[in-house]
Amino acid sequence: MERIRLGNTVFEGLNNAYLLPGDRPTLVDAGVATDSVRRDLREGLDAAGYEVADLEAIVLTHWHADHAGLAGELQAESGAPVYVHADDAGIVAGDLDAIAAEREIRERRFGEWRIPDEPLAEVTAFLDGHDDLRGDRVDVTPVEDGDRIAAGDGDLEVVHLPGHAAGLSAFAFDGERGREAFVGDAILPKYTPNVGGADLRVDRPLETYLDSLARLADRDFARAWPGHRDPIDDPAGRARVIAQHHRERTERVVSVLDDHGPADAWTVSARLFGDLEAIHILHGPGEAFAHLDHLVAEGVVAPPDDGGRYELLDADPDFDELVAVPETKR
């Protein structure tokens, strides 16, 4: 298996694509649709002794442009099927209804979060200005949890891990160390993947993501290959650390409300993260929302009032119960 490093100055920084050589050369993820990333990808394939036309399958971990952007043009050149989870298939395919549905939720949420006019204009311009990075339309083959996709000299098992994105899926395979997985942005080695802002279609985003972390911990993969940065040697341990991080963040959200009084998602975000720019204007209040929404569902916080403000009902909840941190086996 070859790791291909791709530039990405737009979103979280460098991206990884992966090539599984063998009987059915397969590419995992495809990078943003820019000239420099196009070049990175071709050079990476070339270094492994392959060209785009050799690809017989392309699998995508999720719909974000830094993972799916080049898929359409790679498909046009190679004829390879592009596999992505059914929940993300519509957006990757460029289906207008799917894209409109996402946009509608986005606009509604931006209002609910009370993002002020100036940052709202900035983030909207950012998102609209980067629409082209999504690249060409893709003829998608949707997959579901548990499906197996022939890839390289073996197969990839689809492991659905929603949260950061609705369709986010890992692809498990027999690697050098045992059962390993390409995990996209389900877990990352350094940052905590954004939840709540990265895919507004996800219902109960924090709870959904925590369930995925528990599942990852339970699978106890020998190694994970993320969408950004270096491989993760103990994915279960990393899932545990990220869950722990969310528990601490939940505590902070409760203390912000306790300190400030009823507050909207934008205000909570400002207390947590300070001033935000570009895509973070989406991710900051999104993350605050994910936690507030979870606290509402658990009865710790009242549903937002007419001004979008959340009021704390219980200043001393049982955080262990609110945010489960998975046990790990090692």
Rule CB under 5 A: which residues touch Zn ion?
A: 64, 66, 185, 227
* Those residues with Cβ within 8 angstroms of residue 189's Cβ, 6 or more apart along the chain or in another chain: 226, 228, 229, 230, 231, 232, 238
**Comparison of 70 and 295: residue with beta carbon closer to Zn ion:** 70
Least Å from the CB of residue 188 to Zn ion: 8
Least Å from the CB of residue 133 to Zn ion: 12
**Comparison of 185 and 287: residue with beta carbon closer to Zn ion:** 185
| Cβ atoms 95, 63 nearer than 8 A | no
**Comparison of 71 and 322: residue with beta carbon closer to Zn ion:** 71
Here the tokens at position 229 are 């940065």
Least Å from the CB of residue 165 to Zn ion: 6
| Cβ atoms 16, 227 nearer than 8 A | yes
Helix, strand, coil tally for the chain in percent (to 5): 45, 20, 40
**Burial of 38 per CB tally in 10 Å (0-12, 13-18, 19+):** buried
Least Å from the CB of residue 220 to Zn ion: 23
Least Å from the CB of residue 8 to Zn ion: 8
| Cβ atoms 217, 328 nearer than 8 A | yes
**Comparison of 27 and 263: residue with beta carbon closer to Zn ion:** 27
At which residue do the structure tokens 């990333």 appear?
37
**Comparison of 93 and 263: residue with beta carbon closer to Zn ion:** 93
**Comparison of 72 and 227: residue with beta carbon closer to Zn ion:** 227
Using alpha carbons only, give the angle 208, 102, 119 rounded to the nearest 5 degrees.
95
**Comparison of 58 and 256: residue with beta carbon closer to Zn ion:** 58
- Determine the Cα–Cα distance for residues 120 and 97; give it in Å rounded to an integer: 24
Least Å from the CB of residue 75 to Zn ion: 20
| Cβ atoms 179, 172 nearer than 8 A | yes
Return the closest-CA partner of residue 160 out of 211, 118, 197, 106: 211
Least Å from the CB of residue 310 to Zn ion: 26
